[in-house]
Structures are given as C-alpha cells and as structure tokens.
C-alpha cells in the first residue's frame, strides 16, 4: 500500500502522461468540479487568469485525451468528459493538489518527463517482417 504522503502509482502515471503544465491541471480540475457545465475558453482564461490562446491550447490537449469535449455551437464551449475511472483518479488528484500542491507540481515538472519527449523523438517503428539489417 502506498504511503499516504505519496500519490498513487495510477495518479503518478496520469500526471506523467497526460498533464504538461499547472495551467492544464487547473483547467481540468475546474471542468471536473462542475462536470455538467460547459465553459468558453474566455471564461476559463478569465477565471484562471490565463491568456485565451494558452487556455485554448490546454483545452485542445485535454480534448485529444478525451478528458474534455468541445460542445457544438457558438461560442465554442468545453465540458469535462472523462470516464468513471478517470473521475476517481481526478478525485484523488484534486484532494492531493489541495493538500500537497508542491508534490503534484514536482511530478508535472519532473526532469524524467523531459526525457520522455527526448526518447520519443528517437522512436523508430520496428520492421517485424525480419527483412531489416538485424533480421
């Protein structure tokens, strides 16, 4: 059982793979707080004291992960769209972020996360047919 002072492995994995900034985390938690409500980019940026362009980039990234969805119509609005399992994870994240903000931010800005981007730049598809130099 993990130490109560440490986030669960599932939460650590989620932060490592899905969250790239404190702003993105704040947007996700804001939408999660009121899952039935849809927010414009402008309203979120105003509430979180962020630029509209930056908030829009964060929302697009979260939509790509199916954590939020863009609602049809104008003006464009977004609402939380995560699964039940993601909701449980976000409950833990919300609680830990309130009590241990520094630990959560340290995970988001971990040097290992930067290494993830470097490693993915060198990812080459394997030739499973055995016809390559090493096959």
- Residue 127: the pLDDT is 52
- Residue 121: the pLDDT is 56
DSSP 3-state of 33? helix
DSSP-assigned letter for residue 73 = S
Maximum Cα–Cα distance across the chain: 57
Domains of the chain: 9-121 (1.10.10.10)
Q: What's the pTM value of the predicted model, to 2 decimals?
A: 0.78
Q: How high is the mean pLDDT in each 10-residue block of the chain (135 residues)?
A: 71 92 96 95 95 95 95 91 94 94 90 53 53 47
Cβ proximity of 30 and 36 under 8 Å: no
């Amino acid at each position: 059982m993990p130490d109560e002072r440490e986030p669960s492995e599932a939460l650590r994995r989620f932060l490592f793979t899905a969250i790239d900034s404190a702003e993105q985390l704040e947007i996700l938690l804001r939408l999660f707080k009121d899952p039935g409500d849809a927010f414009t980019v402008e309203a979120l940026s105003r509430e979180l004291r962020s630029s509209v362009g930056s908030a829009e980039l964060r929302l697009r990234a979260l939509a790509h992960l199916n954590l939020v969805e863009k609602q049809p119509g104008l003006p464009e609005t977004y609402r939380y769209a995560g699964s039940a399992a993601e909701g449980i994870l976000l409950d833990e994240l919300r609680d830990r972020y309130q009590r241990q903000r520094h630990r959560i931010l340290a995970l988001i800005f971990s040097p290992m996360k930067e290494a993830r981007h470097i490693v993915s730049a060198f990812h080459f598809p394997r030739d499973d047919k055995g016809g390559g130099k090493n096959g």
